[in-house]
Amino acid sequence: MALRETRKYSQGSALGGVNPDLASERQTPSFSVEKLTALLDGGEENTRIRRAVVEAIESDPVFSRENQYFQSQNEKYEAAVRKAVHLQKKVREMGWTENGPEFKYIYRALSGEVALLLHTIFMRSISVLGSDKQIAKWIPLAMQYQLIGSYAQTELGHGTYLQGLETTAVFDIATQEFILNTPQISAMKWWPGDMGRSATHTVVFAQLYVRGKCYGVHPFIVQIRSLWDHSLCPGITAGDIGPKMSFEHIDNGYLMLQNVRVSRENMLSKFCEVRPDGTYVRRGSQQINYLTMTAVRVALISHEAVIPLMKACTIAIRYSVVRRQSKLKPGEEEAKILDFQTQQEKLLPHLAAAYAFHFINNYLQDLFNRGYEEIQRENFNMLPELHAFSSGFKAIVTQYCASAVEVCLRACGGHGYSSLSGLPSLCTRILASCIYEGENTVLFLQTARFLIKCFIAASAGHPVPPSVTYLAAVKPGKCPAKSKFDFLSPDIYTQAYQHAAVRLISSTAAKLQALIQSGVKKHDAWNECTVQLVQAVKAHCHYITVKNFAETVERLETKGGIQQIMKHLCHLFALHGIFSNTGVFLHDGHISGAQMDMVTASYLDLLAVIRKDAVPLVDAFDFTDKTLNSALGSYDGQVYQRLYEWAQKSPTNTQMNPAYEKYLKPLLHKKLSKL
């Protein structure tokens, strides 16, 4: 029943049915694909709602992605704006509301290829950082698209380091206005989405000055284009920053301000306010300005890292059971490339990681929701932990997924390099996620500051957040594993990860303290430890991910085979991490050389186990053919026919060749008489 339902939901095939090599992979799964899909969605009702949203979007021709790979930048931008405008009509028609269950599935259904996404960030900034009065004024206007918002934080010369932003906002007591300026070229806002051609308003982050005193970075609502003719407002210089590696449908822009005046009420003032007499008032934590960015980082882990990895795994694994190459045994037909252990080792650990990161994303969402509830009560105690975790996990998940998607591309050989495979666009898109909303190395180091503070506090017996109480735990002795089967125990490998994280954090903290005590200035000592600090943060995030995966699996129901296959994936993810980072675990002898051989044996055994369920495991991600938009990854596995048919649609095959008349014809005809 489950397979029929999944098949019905898929796009279907007009190319002669399902490829027998792919169909055979779906015959005897060890688990219910439909139940696993429901688990990923958070319940059967959520699956039903998501599928209904996808069906509504994909059945509407305005949202079609056909021939997308052949479009120019302008065509992609225009299509994205058309989709964004039409989406508002669709939302009203379907009765979807922002707080309704359908809303969170729209972005996935559109594969993110829609304009005006920063409009949501604009509204979120106002909702989180604005006063009740500001929310009442601006949110209805934004909801009704009487204006189009953007979010202007990053500058040409500054990105993640908010304190270094150079844009200024000087309070003029006489006129009750802020005067915003771009003092030099490095202060120009650069990269904001929808800024280049679309936005009419933006939230500008600028250094606040009152009576000559700087109060740090604050957010201001600024109108940049006329609501009548879309012309730039006085004092505004703005435009598109030009071609990029990906996201060609988004008009990332630049913005310069010259004596641009906005009302005192335009400074978002839920937590900070400048009163009419110039008195500056702060309520709550100075870090509150990081809250919007924290929310964005948590959201992008799913949309811009985990889902692209799931798509890449789906494409590469389906292709790997259709593609036959070389012979495993003399006299037999060419083998499915997924039957080769090397291909399994390329792809299956990344499939396990997709599940691990899905569950860690749920963990982060819960952490953020709890933290936001506390902040609403003006309790800011969780803010440092929220900021640290969103930074560290944004960095490690996007970094891992970017590498994994590239592996999926290369695992598909030459066909993976074709844009029609869908993999190059996933590859370039996910690479951007390592940079925007905080460059990953910078984010790792922000998390490191939190971990070092917590380690020092825990060592002194002071309370620390629940997520890092392990830093105060008694250090374990040697790993007790006696055979390869012992490494299939979550207690064994989770303890190994905890040991590695504590060792790296404590040793780096000790080095830092020793440098400072020897007379090295704090900032110089910190810089001398940054490589090891990044390593320590990665170990911490890896430990939390493994621990969370194991705890999640333990809570699952045993029926339907779901818990068993998730156990296999959890083991594979954990052992792959040890196998790939042997030095970290062998360093102080917690795991011995002989035990590392046991890890390797169990790890390789798991590849063969998960190989049997590889296709059902990617089918459970439940991507339609239209969502994947891949000639290699379609549900029916008709790879070669689809590649040929899609290639025929290329303008290079349907239009005259201009180079022939200009260059090739004269070249050929010049020698023709001799022939």
Mean pLDDT along residues 500-513: 96
> Per residue in 344-355, is it b (16+ CB within 10 Å) or e — as a string?
bebbbbbbbbbb
Strand 168-172 versus strand 253-257 pairing type? unpaired
Q: Is 177 helix (H, G, I), strand (E, B) or coil?
A: strand
- Given this model, what pLDDT does residue 119 score? 93
> Each residue of 223-250: pLDDT tens digit?
999 999 999 999 999 999 998 888 888 9
> Each residue of 318-350: pLDDT tens digit?
999 999 998 888 888 899 999 999 999 999 999
Residue in 563, 625, 632, 572 with CA at minimum distance from that of residue 602: 572
pLDDT interval class at 2 (50, 70, 90):
very low
Q: Which amino acid is at 103?
A: F
Question: Which DSSP string corresponds to 114-127?
Answer: -S-THHHHHHHHHH
Question: Which DSSP string corresponds to 549-610?
Answer: HHHHHHHS-SGGGHHHHHHHHHHHHHHHHHHHTHHHHHTTSSS-HHHHHHHHHHHHHHHHHH
pLDDT above 70 for 674: no
Mean pLDDT, rounded, of the chain: 92
437 is catalytic: yes
- Given this model, what pLDDT does residue 128 score? 84
Question: Which DSSP string corresponds to 409-459?
Answer: HHHTHHHHHSGGGSHHHHHHHHHHTTTTTS-HHHHHHHHHHHHHHHHHHHH
pLDDT interval class at 11 (50, 70, 90):
very low
Contact 357, 394 (CB under 8 A): no
Neighbours of 424 (CB within 10 A): 18
Mean pLDDT along residues 264-277: 94
Identify the helix (H) or strand (E) that includes residue 202: strand 201-210
Backbone angles phi and psi of 289, in degrees to 5: -65, -20
Residue with tokens 């790997």: 320
Q: Strand runs (DSSP E) across 23-108, as ranges?
A: none
Bridge partners of residue 263, in order along the sequence: 177
Q: Structure tokens of 226?
A: 């006329």
Q: Strand runs (DSSP E) across 250-386, as ranges?
A: 253-257, 260-263, 272-274, 280-282
Find all residues with CB under 8 Å of 164, minimum gap 6, and list them: 158
Backbone angles phi and psi of 127, in degrees to 5: -65, -35
For the chain, the residue count is 675
* Cα–Cα dist 307/300, whole Å: 10
Catalytic residue among 177, 437, 439, 645: 437
